[in-house]
Chains A and B, each alone.
Chain A
């Protein structure tokens, strides 16, 4: 099987599992009702290691799964994850990801960007979203939660050989 296709399948499986965990188990560790976005952390990891193609394709598929389990319109999360996967994938091979600082920074920025993009979609398409509060508490809780978990999840994902950086992207 083509290595890129294998990467897409594996990362979709990982992202899908993260989405299912978020909807079931993680609601018990929610802080003030806010859950961490494990799928976003996995997506960013895939993007900086394997580039745009793998990240956007798996982001799109996992986003569709998320939409089918949510009251969000079909395509809402698919679009967010496709766009984030594509742009983060452009950085593959150009940044050195250390064990702690870079994962925290990458996820911090990704969560804020996701928040901004969500707001934009909610406003443009007039989507009724009860959790919609631009730059309010929930967004910052999610930013902190994701950033805190990022180094641990990155360390875990580094063990997967199939997600090792491509030869041309090695820094």
Chain B
């Protein structure tokens, strides 16, 4: 064989290499996040079946293993829970009273009704296969009413902490962009001193709150809670994000930069809630 076909046949490994590298580079260029979502969504829907199966098998083994000790612990917890239930019933009555009072006060002040969210429970079934990205996959998808952009929260240590938001939905799974991702931005507010800022992922599992007025330096306390401000209407107002760990005030900058430790421990995250709005 001579000519171009002969050349291609002789160097087919090199030619294949060049074609594959070209295709990969092209894909990176046009897909750098959110642009090429369709092929990825199809891929996610197909391969999530395997992820769910593998996760199920692994859970079955670990569940069986710990079932016996769990039973013993549960008995002790049941006794404690019964006592707590009595307390909570009392607290619930108080809460109803407070809610009625709050509604009455809001009506008097003329506040608009805030958005109501439905909590869709979901389980974390997979994480990123590599160590460079922070993907999380949940076992709820478009079939369960999950849509792109919905906020995700988790309850840890008695607080409702912000986890992230849905960036991609398959039929039965959805992909979450955690707040620790450098490409994630959350409108935030310091809970006590009431200064606003923007929280984004800062690497090593920490968060950075920027654009906080320098004036805040006098008032912000270490350990102060940071919550969502509700501005931008992506995340509901008042969800806990983290606590202030470090403060940086550079002379040449007009604003402060705060290092925030997330409320949610992403290493031991298993169950979360997707906040679904609308119908």
Contact = CB atoms under 8 A, between A and B. Distances in A.
B26 A75 contact: yes
Nearest to A119: B132
Contacts of A64: 43
B101 interface: no
Interface stretch (A19-27, A95-103, A153-161, A163-171): A19-27
Given A24-B51, A130-B133, A73 B28 contact: yes
Interface string A58-86: 00100111111111111111110011001
A74 B27 contact: yes
B193 interface: no
B133 A72 contact: yes
A70 B133 contact: yes
Interface in A49-63: 51-53, 56-57, 60, 63
Contacts of A37: 130-131
A89 to B, nearest CB: 8
A35 B28 contact: no
Interface in B78-119: none
A11 to B, nearest CB: 15
Contact of A72 (B16, B62, B132): B132
B129 A22 contact: yes
Interface in A116-136: 118, 121-122, 125-133
B25 interface: yes
Contacts of B58: 24-25, 28
B24 A60 contact: yes
A74 B40 contact: yes
Looking at B13, B33, B130, the one whose CB has the most chain A CB atoms below 10 A away is: B130
Contact of B27 (A65, A78, A122): A78
The number of chain B residues touching the other chain, given as a range, is 35 or more
Nearest to B176: A71
A24 B59 CA distance: 10
Interface string B112-128: 00000000000001111
A39 interface: yes
Given A75-B23, A121-B28, A128-B182, A142 B131 contact: yes
A19 B134 contact: no
Contacts of A86: 13, 17
A27 B127 contact: yes
Interface string B20-64: 110111111101110010011011100100110011001000100
Nearest to A145: B131
B135 interface: yes
Contacts of A23: 51, 126-129, 137
Given A53-B13, A79-B25, A34 B131 contact: yes
Given A73-B27, A76-B28, A132 B129 contact: no
B180 interface: yes
B24 A79 contact: yes
A53 B12 contact: yes
A89 B32 CA distance: 29
A138 interface: yes
Contact of B130 (A21, A25, A57, A70): A70
Nearest to A131: B132
Given A75-B26, A82-B24, A131-B131, 17 more contacts: A25-B54, A33-B267, A35-B130, A52-B17, A60-B20, A69-B47, A71-B133, A72-B135, A74-B31, A75-B25, A75-B28, A82-B20, A122-B132, A129-B133, A130-B132, A132-B203, A133-B203
Interface of B: 12-13, 16-17, 20-21, 23-29, 31-33, 36, 39-40, 42-44, 47, 50-51, 54-55, 58, 62, 125-135, 137, 167, 175, 177, 180-183, 201, 203-205, 267
| Nearest 9 pairs of A and B residues by beta carbon | A68-B43, A75-B27, A79-B24, A128-B183, A74-B31, A22-B129, A75-B28, A75-B24, A23-B126
Interface of A: 19-25, 27-28, 33-35, 37, 39, 51-53, 56-57, 60, 63-79, 82-83, 86, 89, 118, 121-122, 125-133, 138, 142
